[in-house]
């Protein structure tokens, strides 16, 4: 494949655009871009830690190699290098705009549900709502994908929402909010003008204290989400208290260690995949290349 000629005519391109032009599978295209002389690749956005049961030690980087290539990478010839940089900057601005839209959308939904609930005053005093995931890294996108449980198409990154209640919030208040939030989640999936996915969890301080032990996969995921979470609405003092709990448990240091290990393994994996594209070898690392499980559950 004459990639130089293709890019000279059509570039710079994202990985997804180049894939449509090249007419080959995504992995050999990525490998060609990585190894062919005179080709420039630049990534928009950043890589960040994701916890994955399929990986030894649970730590890998997100976006995966395949998702990063298709959605967040610009490819061009050496002569197009300035245009590659300019397009990357424009893409990052767009990802930031999308992230802010999704952040605001989630806040508006939650605030509306709280304001219209009979327990509104109790929620304002004893509940905090936060958001985690792609949005907090300004990496949210709108690439259409199927929602896992229904198969309905949704607009890109989901909204990972965490609601934490203190010990004074009555159980019936949480049940009421859970019921309305679940109905709202379904409405947003089926309404064609919205098609946003909210993935949410509701828990209390006692459960947070247990999860901060960081002693199994589910607890590690919960700690990562609490660490990266941004305040949306509710009681800001409760949110600050949760952040102090996370800090005192040393979660940032534990996650940083996992992220460093994941970065080293990502670099080694990319080198291996670029030079050894056999089917057997690819199967060993395919969970780090392909994008079929970019989402993680929240706890």
C-alpha torsion angle, residues 112, 113, 116, 118 (rounded to 10)? -150
Q: Is residue 197 part of a domain?
A: yes
Q: State how far the Cα of 112 lies from the Cα of 91, in Å rounded to an integer.
A: 31
Residues 240 and 278 in one domain: no
User: 108 and 71, same structural domain?
Assistant: no
Give pLDDT, residue 100. Answer: 97
Q: Are residues 140 and 7 in the same domain?
A: no
35 vs 1: CA distance, rounded Å: 13
Are 273 and 241 part of one and the same domain? no
**Does 142 fall in a domain?**
yes
Buried residues in 256-286 as b, exposed as e (16+ CB within 10 A): eebbebbeebbeebbeebeeeeeeeebeebb
72 and 137 fall within a common domain: no
For residue 44, the model assigns a pLDDT of 95
Is 106 part of a structural domain of the chain? yes
Please tell me whether residues 274 and 229 are part of one structural domain: no
132 shares a domain with 74: no
197 plus 51 within the same structural domain: no
In a domain, 250, yes or no: yes
- ∠ CA 209-211-212 to the nearest 5 degrees? 65
Give the ranges where 116-160 is alpha helix by DSSP (H).
120-126
Residue 188's pLDDT is what? Answer: 86
The pLDDT assigned to 278 comes to: 54
Is 299 part of a structural domain of the chain? no
Residue 37 within a domain: yes
User: Which pLDDT score, from 0 to 100, does residue 279 have?
Assistant: 55
CA–CA dist 128, 242 (Å, integer): 9
Q: Looking at residue 284, what is its pLDDT?
A: 62
Q: Do the domain assignments include residue 296?
A: no
Q: Do 83 and 113 belong together in one domain?
A: no
Domain that includes residue 120, residue range: 96-254
Asked whether the whole model's pTM tops 0.85, one would answer yes
> CA–CA separation, 143 vs 259, rounded Å?
26
Q: Are residues 192 and 284 in the same domain?
A: no
pLDDT at position 214:
98
Q: Kindly state whether residues 76 and 214 are assigned to the same domain.
A: no
Q: How many whole angstroms separate alpha carbon 273 and alpha carbon 276? A: 5
Count of structural domains within the chain: 2
Tell me the sheet residues that pair with 203. Answer: 164
What is the predicted pLDDT for the residue at 288?
Answer: 67
pLDDT at 295: 54
Q: What's the CATH number where 159 sits?
A: 3.30.460.10
In a domain, residue 295? The reply is no
DSSP conformation class of 135:
G
Q: What does the pLDDT read at residue 242?
A: 98
- pLDDT means per 10 residues in the chain (299 residues)? 89 95 90 93 94 89 92 96 97 96 96 96 97 94 81 85 96 94 89 87 97 97 97 98 98 98 92 73 64 62
pLDDT single digits (tens) 150-161? 778 888 888 999
Q: Give the pair of three-digit tokens for residue 194.
A: 């919205």
Q: Calculate helix-pair angle for 279-289, 26-35, nearest 10 degrees.
A: 90
pLDDT at residue number 277:
58
Do 119 and 198 fall within a single domain? yes
**pLDDT of the residue at 286:** 65
- Here the tokens at position 284 are 């060993």
């Amino acid at each position: 494949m004459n990639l130089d000629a293709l890019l000279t005519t059509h570039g710079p391109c994202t990985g997804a655009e180049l894939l449509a032009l090249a007419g080959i599978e995504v992995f050999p295209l990525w490998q060609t871009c990585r190894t062919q002389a005179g080709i420039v690749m630049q990534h928009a956005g950043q890589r960040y830690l994701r916890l994955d049961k399929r990986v030894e030690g649970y730590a890998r980087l997100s976006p995966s190699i395949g998702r990063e290539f298709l959605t967040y990478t610009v490819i061009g010839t050496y002569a197009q290098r300035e245009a590659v940089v300019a397009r990357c900057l424009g893409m990052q601005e767009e990802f930031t705009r999308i992230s802010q839209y999704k952040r605001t959308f989630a806040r508006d939904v939650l605030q509306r549900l709280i304001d219209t609930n009979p327990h509104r005053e109790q929620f304002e005093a004893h509940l905090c709502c936060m958001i985690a995931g792609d949005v907090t890294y300004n990496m949210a996108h709108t690439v259409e994908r199927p929602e896992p449980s229904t198969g309905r198409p949704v607009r890109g990154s989901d909204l990972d929402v965490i609601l934490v209640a203190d010990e004074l919030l009555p159980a019936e208040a949480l049940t009421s909010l859970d019921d309305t939030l679940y109905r709202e989640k379904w409405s947003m999936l089926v309404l064609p003008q919205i098609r946003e996915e909210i993935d949410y969890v509701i828990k209390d301080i006692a459960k947070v204290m247990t999860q901060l032990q960081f002693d199994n996969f589910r607890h590690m995921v919960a700690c990562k989400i609490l660490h990266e979470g941004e305040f949306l609405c509710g009681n800001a003092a409760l949110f600050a208290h949760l952040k102090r709990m996370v800090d005192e448990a040393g979660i940032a240091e534990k996650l940083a260690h996992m992220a460093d290990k994941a970065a080293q393994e990502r670099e080694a994996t990319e080198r291996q995949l670029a030079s050894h594209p056999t089917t057997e070898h690819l199967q060993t690392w395919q969970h780090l290349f392909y994008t079929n499980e970019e989402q993680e559950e929240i706890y």
